[in-house]
Amino acid sequence: MGKNRKTTLLSELGRNKTLLLMISPFVIHLIIFCYVPIWGWVMAFQDYNPIAGITGSPWVGLKHFKALFAEPLFIKVIRNTLAISTIKLVLGTTTSLFLAILLNETRHKYFKSVTQTITSLPHFISWVVTANLVREMLSTDGGMVNDFLMFIHIIDKPVLWLGVQKYFWWIMGWSSVWKEVGWGAIIYLAAMTGIDDQLYEAAKIDGASRIQRIIHVTIPGIKSTFLILLIMNIGYLLSAGYEQMFLLKSGLTQDVAQVFELFAIEWGLNKLRYSFATASGIFASVVSITLITVTNKLSHKLGETALF
Amino acid sequence: MREKTSNLIFDSIKNFILVFLLIITLYPFVNLMAISLNDAQDTAKGGITIFPRVFSLASYTTLFKLPELLTGFINSVLRTVIGAVTQVFSCSMIAYVLSRKSFPLRRPLSLLWIFTMYVSGGLIPYYFLMRSLGLLNNFNIYWIPGITSAFAIIVIRTYISGLPESLIEAAKVEGAGEFRIFMQIVLPLAIPVLATMALFAAVDHWNAWVDTWLFNPKKKELTTLQYELMKKLASSNSSKSGKLGAEARRGSGSGGTTPKSIRAAMTMIAAVPIMLVYPFLQRYFVTGLTLGGVKE
pLDDT score for B251: 43
* B143 at A interface, C-beta within 8 A: no
Q: Which 8-state DSSP code applies to residue B47? A: -
Over residues A77-100, the mean pLDDT reads 94
CA distance A301 to chain B (A): 22
Tell me whether residues A125 and B275 touch, CB distance under 8 A: yes
Q: Would you state the pLDDT for residue B294? A: 39
- A136 and B203 in contact by Cβ < 8 A? no
> pLDDT tens-digit profile of A12-35?
888 888 999 999 999 999 999 999
Contacting B residues, span 176-235, partner chain A, CB-CB under 8 Å: 177-179, 182, 203, 206-210, 214, 226, 229-230, 233
A132 touches B: beta carbon within 8 Å = yes
**Whether B229 and A268 lie within 8 Å, measured CB to CB:** no
Domain boundaries, chain B: 59-291
Which residues does chain B have within 8 Å of residue A105's beta carbon, measured at their own beta carbons? Answer: 10-11, 14
Instruction: Locate the domains of chain A by residue range.
Output: 65-133+162-301
Query: How many angstroms away from the CA of A1 is the closest CA of chain B?
Result: 18
Average pLDDT over residues B222-247: 70
Q: What is the spatial distance between Cα B172 and Cα B167, in angstroms, rounded to a whole number?
A: 9
Q: Give tens-digit pLDDT for B34-74.
A: 999 999 888 888 788 888 888 989 999 988 888 999 999 99
Percent of chain A with pLDDT over 70: 96
Q: What is the pLDDT of residue B290?
A: 65
Q: Is B282 on the interface with A (CB under 8 A)?
A: yes
**Is the confidence at residue B196, as pLDDT, over 60?**
yes
Report d(CA A185, CA B52) in Å as an integer. Answer: 34
Residue of B nearest to A293 (CA): B118
For helices B2-36 and A127-138, the axis angle rounded to 10 degrees is: 100
In B, which residues are within 8 Å of A119 by CB distance? 21-22, 25
Touching check for B265 and chain A: CB below 8 Å? Answer: no
* Chain A residues within an 8 Å CB radius of B271: 125-126, 129
Does pLDDT of A132 surpass 70?
yes
Closest C-alpha among A243, A245, A301 to residue A126 = A243
Architecture field, domain A65-133+162-301: Orthogonal Bundle (1.10)
Q: Is A126 on the interface with B (CB under 8 A)?
A: yes
| Most B CBs within 10 Å, among A88, A124, A145, to test the B interface | A124
> Does the distance separating the beta carbons of B112 and A30 come in below 8 Å?
yes
Among A13, A29, A122, the residue with its CB nearest the CB of B104 is A13
pLDDT classification of B82: cutoffs 50, 70, 90: very high
Is the model's pLDDT at B140 over the cut of 80?
Answer: yes
Residues 265-294 of A with CB under 8 A from B: 265, 268-269, 274, 277-278, 281-282, 284-285, 288-289, 292
Asked if A261 and A242 touch (Cβ cutoff 8 Å), the reply is yes
Are B108 and B162 a contacting pair, CB within 8 Å?
A: no
Residue (of A90, A276, A308) closest to B118 by Cα position: A308
Quote the ipTM score. Answer: 0.86
Least CB–CB distance from A132: residue in B122, B179, B233:
B233
| Fold classified for B59-291 | MetI-like fold (1.10.3720)
Quick one: pLDDT at residue B291? 64
Check pLDDT > 80 for residue A263. yes
Residues of chain B contacting A101 with CB distance shorter than 8 Å: none
- CB-CB neighbors (< 8 A) of B264 in chain A: 132, 136
Q: Between chains, do A37 and B121 touch, taking CB under 8 Å as contact?
A: yes
User: Is B145 in contact with B204 (CB distance < 8 Å)?
Assistant: no
Report A:37-66 residues touching B (Cβ under 8 A). Answer: 37-41, 43, 50
Mean pLDDT highest for which of A90-94, A223-227, A292-296? A90-94
Alpha helix positions (H), chain B? 2-36, 40-44, 58-65, 67-99, 106-115, 123-132, 150-161, 165-173, 178-181, 187-189, 191-207, 210-215, 225-238, 243-250, 259-291
Question: What does pLDDT average to over chain A?
Answer: 89
Distance, CA of B143 to CA of B130 (rounded, Å): 13
Residues B223-241: what's their mean pLDDT? 77
Does position A224 have pLDDT exceeding 80, yes or no?
A: yes
- B99-136 b/e with 16+ CB inside 10 Å = b? bbeebbbbeebbebbeebeebbbbbbbbbbbbeebebb
Q: Which of A6-15, A108-117, B241-250 has the lowest mean pLDDT?
A: B241-250
A206 CB near a chain B CB, below 8 Å?
no
Which percentage of chain A shows pLDDT scores above 90? 54
In the DSSP assignment, the letter for residue B182 is I
Residue B129, by phi and psi: left (phi above 0), alpha (psi -120 to 50) or beta?
alpha
A259: Cβ contacts below 8 Å, ≥ 6 apart: A77, A80, A81, A84, A240, A242, A245
